[in-house]
Amino acid sequence: MGSDEIRSQGFCLKELFREVTYEIDYYQRDYTWGEDEIRTLLRDLCGSFRNWSTDPAYLRRPHTAPQYFLGPFVYYEPSKNRRYLVDGQQRFVTLHLLFLQLRLSAQERGDARAVDRLNRVITIDGEHFALGITDHEPVLRAVAEARKYETGVGDSLSRRNLWARSQQIESQLAEELDAENLPRFTEWLLDRVVLVGIRAASSDHGYRMFETMNDRGARLTAVDLLKSHLLSHVGANEDHLNTQWHEMLRELATDREDPPPLPASSKPSLWPAAHVRAGKTTAGRSTATSMCGSATTPLTWDWYPNVPVTFCTSCRTC
């Protein structure tokens, strides 16, 4: 394969998660899908299912039912059975929340076949989630065990949103589908819903593709792009800086759609750009200067337009 050669392949969901773990790179954003994105996806899926579910021909031969195209995703594969998502995280996480809710329903009605099939896409070995995002695991585990997840002060934005969206999926499924249709819906979902995987040649190639793409649904914000740019250029300690980034966001906001006022106690050390220092506040606007002394270019902060972040025009990372 050439250094930047791109390959593509179609996957139905039962194939997509078969004996493979999906992870995300440090430059990826949080899980940000809100009520509208979840509602749209579930309505589309359930509507497509209903369009054929009463047709006798398809009921006799469900494997001939129309496929549903869930869009492309981008990934790279550093080793066998291990893939890193470049684009598609929002849909993959949402699908796993849907799988978990469907499995709970199957367990309640004693549908061993559905439980077994869903186990194969939820986990890789009966224990570890196929979605290998460490930050998400406590919430996914709570949903899987049908217990309430208690959100805390230290929880990331992703964890808070995961729990809210899992509850939304549970209630919307009950509205969209009768209990008697859930077994057929599960079969159709695993067999006839398709994504096209676009395989990047390497991590660097994947990052370059990430910068040019938006996920289906929630678009990349200036904050997402800023994180991507900064962390991709540091060259070391990405995990530590990624942790600092999430700590900063927890201080700045508890909800993407309704962020609180900027805390007066915010410190310059929270900014992931290690070479930016805060300047004085003038007429309600905070300023910053480069530690290396070069001229700076302001970049307006996504939620707080009065707090510009600066890039050094010399090195582009200060």
> For position 243, what pLDDT does the model report?
78
Question: DSSP readout, 7-27?
Answer: EEEEEEHHHHTTT-EEEE-TT
**Residue 233 pLDDT grade (very low, low, confident, very high; cuts 50, 70, 90):** low
* 35-53 and 89-109 helices, crossing angle to 10°: 60
Beta-carbon contacts of residue 261 (< 8 Å; ≥ 6 apart): none
Give the pLDDT mean for 274-292.
Answer: 39
Token pair for 120: 């194969």
Tokens for 264, please give them: 């007066």
Q: What does the block give as tokens for 71? A: 């869009």
pLDDT of residue 245: 78
Distances 260 to 48, 95, 149, 281 between C-alpha atoms, Å? 39, 30, 23, 20
pLDDT tens digit string along 161-177?
A: 999 999 999 999 999 99
Q: What would the pLDDT profile of 70-91 be if each residue is shown by its tens digit?
A: 999 999 999 888 999 988 999 9
Helix axes 222-233, 238-252, angle to 10 degrees: 160
Residue bearing the bigger pLDDT, 7 or 42: 42
What residue ranges do the domains of the chain occupy? Answer: 7-211, 222-312
Angle formed at CA 228 by CA 290 and CA 35, multiple of 5 degrees? 125
**Strands 7-12, 193-199: pairing kind:** antiparallel
**Position 67, amino acid:** Q
3-state secondary structure of 120: helix
| Whole-number Å distance between alpha carbons of 295 and 223 | 22
Q: Cα angle at 105 between 104 and 110, to 5 degrees?
A: 95
Q: Name the pTM for this structure.
A: 0.68
Other Cβ atoms less than 10 A from the Cβ of 289: the count is 18
Whether the Cβ atoms of residue 213 and residue 141 lie closer than 8 Å to each other: no
Q: How far apart are CA 198 and CA 76, in angstroms?
A: 8
Mean pLDDT value across residues 102-131: 94
Per-residue pLDDT reduced to its tens digit, 146-203: 999 998 888 888 999 999 999 999 999 999 999 899 999 999 999 999 999 999 888 8
